[in-house]
Amino acid sequence: MIETDVLIIGSGIGGLSTAIKIAEARPDLSITVLTKTIEGESNTRYAQGGVAAVWDVEVDSYSKHKEDTLDAGDGLCDENIVDIVVSEGPDRVQDIIDWGARFDKKKDASEYDLAREGGHSEKRILHYKDLTGWEMQRAVMAKTDEFPNITIYEHYFAIDLITQHHLGHSVTRLKQDIQCYGSYALNKKNNVIETILARVTVVATGGAGQVYRATTNPVIASGDGIAMAYRAKGWTENMEFVQFHPTSLYHPGGDNPVFLVSEAVRGFGGILKTKEGEEFMQKYDERKSLAPRDIVARAIDNEMKIRGEDCMYLDCRHLNHEDFVAHFPTIYDKCKSIGIDPMKDMIPVAPACHYMCGGIKVDDLGQTSIQRMYAVGECTSTGLHGANRLASNSLLEAMVFAHRIAADVLPKIDQWSIQKGIPDWNAGGTTDPKEMVLITQSIKELKEIMSSYVGIVRSNVRLKRALDRLELLYHETEEIYNTTTISPQLCELRNLITIAYLITRSARLRKESRGLHYTTDYPEKAGFLQANVI
């Protein structure tokens, strides 16, 4: 059994920033961070484009950033949250700069080289080449190392949150009735499930992109935090809004995750075209290739279906070679590695699952519907993104809410104590290696169901078929779960099935097309706005 003052599940920008803020203010508090692989492996490090913040106040403003965010969110953003993130964002970016993050500057090094991405009216994206997430992850990891009261446990897989249910008490979904006391976690090094108790728990587990066949998310993005919160009877919100990045590198039989061709390439001047070299975005939006991601993804998807083709193309041949390589060295090298020279060839691209705009419902301080439990980052629904995330707002959101969570936890934590009497995990069943083939096949089947029926374009018939097949997968998987020893793969399968259910169920509840959710049965927006809470 491990006891700690603060338990943080996840080691990306949200989790580690929260740890740093608390550790800095209270050296006497013990802070435990769990990561199911190694410290540096998170959704954060795969972010290419950058972090959006109002930096050049002579041409940009909070009101412009707010309007761009609201426009992308298609009417479902919480304006108060947008105000908070936009106005507090620059200070949080300055924090990570102070921690050592290196953002690109102009050639004379006088000021930051701000970029523009789709949906942004001004240049406000701070970036580090096309490896911004990697650089920000490096900076927070280095800063974390300065605090002896932060302990990071690698290869610990959080299985479930601990609530009073584990004490034999019945709980309801009412906020005042449920408390979180920590988590059960599988130590992957010795296969022992440990009880980790905490005065306060922060879920920072990232996204759930692995629920789809093609995704830019790392293999660890299996929605663990959202699924755990739902099983603990916490509220989730707006799960139907899954953002598909318009331009993943199309490479048949290629990588998992698929390689992302950053939206910043379009901001830099890349133009979407057919294989014949004809532009097509003007048919869908006056902003053409710089339209918000939901519009661009649907446009590419539609052109692929109309033409019976597997991809469209991003034309960068007209761009300056030296500048392109300087800004996008990773993208350039990746293309060259598969025989594509972006300066001579158009880059084949196709949409891929990229970001969850919904998740664990939290308030403006990052509190969930469960007491003593907070959440931060992509696993949350804060109200910032609404029906569609504006490019490069996610890293900003994580840093702002990490700061706000720490500010709320610090004056409260002394009121809470470690819960006593928590039982050890009661594992059942025996290991049967033959069952692993059932798990891997079920994961493949799940990805096919979601990609075929709950993708960019949906319909009532497709959603019903998905739910029917998900129910069968759920029962089959629960039978395995109850009769075999716990494994990370089995836990991820259970979590992905939960995520798939929440996405599909939420999609069926929304009788309109809005933002990232498009259904052929309800192609128009409804006259009312409503968040889907499950």
CA 195 → CA 83, 181, 431, distances in Å?
39, 10, 21
Task: Give dist(CA 9, CA 436) in Å, integer.
Answer: 26
Task: Give dist(CA 122, CA 115) in Å, integer.
Answer: 8
Contact call for residues 204 and 377 (beta carbons, < 8 A): yes
How does DSSP classify residue 146? T
Catalytic residue among 45, 92, 293, 462: 293
How does DSSP classify residue 40? T
Reduced to 3 states (helix: H, G, I; strand: E, B; else coil), residue 511 is coil
Q: Which amino acid is at 308?
A: G
Q: Is 339 exposed, middle or buried (0-12, 13-18, 19+ CB in 10 A)?
A: exposed
Helix axes 460-483, 488-509, angle to 10 degrees: 150
Tokens 């929605």 correspond to what residue?
Answer: 223
Active site residue 307: no
CA 447 → CA 132, 344, 436, 499, distances in Å?
29, 35, 17, 11
CA 43 → CA 72, 192, 210, 347, 401, distances in Å?
22, 26, 12, 24, 17
Q: Which helix (H) or strand (E) holds 140?
A: helix 132-144
Own/partner long-range contacts of 414-421 (Cβ < 8 Å, ≥24 apart): 416/199, 416/200, 416/372, 417/199, 418/3, 418/181, 418/197, 418/198, 418/199, 419/162, 419/167, 419/179, 419/181, 419/182, 419/197, 421/167
How does DSSP classify residue 480? H
Terminal CA-CA length for the chain: 33
Record the tokens describing residue 42, joined without a space: 């998170």
Nearest Cα neighbor of 411 from 17, 9, 11, 29 is: 29
Contact call for residues 226 and 377 (beta carbons, < 8 A): no
Record the tokens describing residue 362, joined without a space: 């939290």
Task: Give dist(CA 187, CA 168) in Å, integer.
Answer: 25
Nearest Cα neighbor of 355 from 1, 17, 44 is: 44
Question: What values do phi and psi take at 47, rounded to 5?
Answer: -70, 120
Peptide bond before residue 523 is cis, with ω within 30 degrees of 0: no
Q: Which residues make beta-bridge pairs with 244?
A: 353
How does DSSP classify residue 519? E
Catalytic machinery residues: 293
